[in-house]
A and B are shown apart, each in its own frame.
Chain A
């Protein structure tokens, strides 16, 4: 095996003559990111006071919201362009105008999304790459002690109005809106909504319905089905028509009885299918569990014993399970997480027992059902993690995000955590608590590719969550020869912050394609005046 140079010129020559091994053309091209890194930092850029959300997955737009969370502002990322007349340009400092936000981003438009009493949910954004549509959400204030009326689950808060806005990002035109009234959808970090290709699944926690919508090319949001109380489209019609028949026959019986027994007060309650039946999805789940347990034994007495112990003993708990979270596995299958009411809205859902089911929307059958700490589910998670991310087949680069199923280094990291864990079932439960995954929560930037760079994932990672921030720069070290430090990302001011004890959090927005990243560091000052100081740095390849 001959040694391939890591020099960029040598790599370009190699690219001219060598064909990469089959199926590795993306990985081969990505090696260039070892040479082109965002090593230069512009500290404390003066930028508009917006809440920057993320770059779209194709790198065309930067999404941000106004500080009052009423308006959407979209920027186009562009590169610096200036000319230098001197001969030795590299040693010159950048001109002053290069250190401005406007040199890197051009504002395209500013669109008001929220009306007076609504706020844009700043952690919610979904991007449909094929049509360049963006989905945003606005909501009114949350009501915590909402009454459980009209089929709502007790204990889930209610929001008076949640609106999903579908926008064409090229010009900010609002294409369609979908409103949910007196409902609750978990909007933080896209948890209650999943986008796969053109299908959108919205989980109404309050009414326990999974709404499946389709985003048409014209920009319309079309309702496809609602899974929850009813599974098939004609279930409701069937039950209602039977209910009418039952109501009529009961009325006749009532009249007869009253005629015969005038003295006895016999009241026949009107049958109400909504109250006496369990919801469609719950019936599917319970019957699947029953049949599974029944079929495990062939001896009748053992069967009955098993059913009594494992099913009927916990029957009420199973009936009280609610849908927590949903994701698509493909166009026909959903991965649904069930749990108790307490865990549905709490932040620390790990302590509550949870179950995961695979549901086929077309046949309306449950395919499999696991407890949250099941070995089998963990094996599937370990081996096929990247298929759980359910990225659309149309989007190429989203399919190359590093996970422990497609990257040896990530797998080694996972195995080392597993070996260090004190209890294997606790470890499995912790890993599986991330299922179902939230949609578009990972950055496709090649700088997070574990086969290229090694970095401390407590300080920075592909997930778009806030991380603890330190004054030390975050190092990105090459995985391959020569295993050296390649570049550093330092959030916050260049000299470090004034108060070392103040709690600082930071988050990073990496462009998916260009060697460009934004880091935002927020210092939370606890003492009055309660102020959040935000520092924005731009990291790029000079």
Chain B
């Protein structure tokens, strides 16, 4: 068997019988195709700078949990969600200004 591996002993002499790396017609097919991305998502932004995060992982986790709690509070609770209604055409009510108190 004439291969790059030479005539080294192997468990089964037929193992590498398919390999023909010295064959020039195969070598071009052996080289894997270079991947060219078809989307532009992995182009980094021009001003991207990668550096070490100054805050250590513990503090990042503490801040993340604190912000999560604030975000949870900002979400309205399910019971309070009412279906949206279109605003009335007459946005200004009949009495658009302050009314004098009705004297008793």
Binding site for B on A (CB under 8 A): 292, 295-296, 298, 329-330, 333, 358, 367-368, 376, 380, 383-384, 387-388
Which chain B residues numbered 45 to 76 have a C-beta less than 8 Å away from chain A?
55-59, 61-63, 65-66, 69-70, 73, 76
Distance in Å from the Cβ of A287 to the closest Cβ of chain B? 15
Q: Give which listed residue, B55, B66, B70, B77, contacts A330 with CB less than 8 A.
A: B55
CA distance A358 to B62 in the complex (A): 9
Q: B34 within 8 Å of A by Cβ?
A: no
In contact, B58 and A388 (Cβ under 8 angstroms): yes
CA distance A383 to B56 in the complex (A): 13
Q: Given A367-B62, A387-B58, output 15 extra A-B contacts at Cβ < 8 Å.
A: A295-B70, A295-B73, A296-B73, A298-B77, A329-B56, A329-B59, A330-B55, A333-B59, A368-B66, A376-B65, A380-B62, A383-B61, A384-B57, A384-B58, A387-B57
CA distance A380 to B61 in the complex (A): 8
Chain B residues, CB < 8 A from A388 = 58
Please report whether the interface of chain B is mostly helix, strand, loop or mixed according to DSSP: helix
CA distance A368 to B67 in the complex (A): 10
In contact, B63 and A367 (Cβ under 8 angstroms): yes
CA distance A486 to B12 in the complex (A): 45
Q: Give which listed residue, A296, A298, A329, A367, contacts B80 with CB less than 8 A.
A: A298
CA distance A368 to B80 in the complex (A): 28
Distance in Å from the Cβ of B45 to the closest Cβ of chain A? 27
In contact, A384 and B66 (Cβ under 8 angstroms): no
Distance in Å from the Cβ of B43 to the closest Cβ of chain A? 27
Chain A residues, CB < 8 A from B55 = 330
Distance in Å from the Cβ of A341 to the closest Cβ of chain B? 28
Chain A residues, CB < 8 A from B59 = 329-330, 333, 358
Distance in Å from the Cβ of B62 to the closest Cβ of chain A? 5
Distance in Å from the Cβ of A349 to the closest Cβ of chain B? 23
Chain A residues, CB < 8 A from B62 = 358, 367-368, 380
CA distance A356 to B56 in the complex (A): 19
CA distance A296 to B80 in the complex (A): 15
Chain B residues, CB < 8 A from A367 = 62-63, 66
Closest to A381 in B: B58
Chain B residues, CB < 8 A from A376 = 65
28 A-B pairs (CB sep. < 8 Å): A292-B69, A295-B70, A295-B73, A296-B73, A298-B73, A298-B76, A298-B77, A298-B80, A329-B56, A329-B58, A330-B55, A330-B56, A330-B59, A333-B59, A358-B59, A367-B62, A367-B63, A367-B66, A368-B62, A368-B66, A376-B65, A380-B58, A380-B61, A380-B62, A384-B57, A384-B58, A387-B57, A387-B58
CA distance A259 to B72 in the complex (A): 59
Chain A residues, CB < 8 A from B57 = 384, 387
Q: Give which listed residue, A298, A368, A384, contacts B65 with CB less than 8 A.
A: A368
In contact, A384 and B70 (Cβ under 8 angstroms): no
CA distance A298 to B73 in the complex (A): 8
CA distance A383 to B58 in the complex (A): 9
In contact, A387 and B56 (Cβ under 8 angstroms): yes
Chain B residues, CB < 8 A from A383 = 61
Distance in Å from the Cβ of A199 to the closest Cβ of chain B? 15
Closest to A295 in B: B73
CA distance A387 to B55 in the complex (A): 11
Distance in Å from the Cβ of B65 to the closest Cβ of chain A? 7
Chain B residues, CB < 8 A from A330 = 55-56, 59
| Interface hub of B56, B76, B80 (most chain A Cβ within 10 A) | B56
Chain A residues, CB < 8 A from B76 = 298
CA distance A330 to B59 in the complex (A): 9
CA distance A358 to B61 in the complex (A): 12
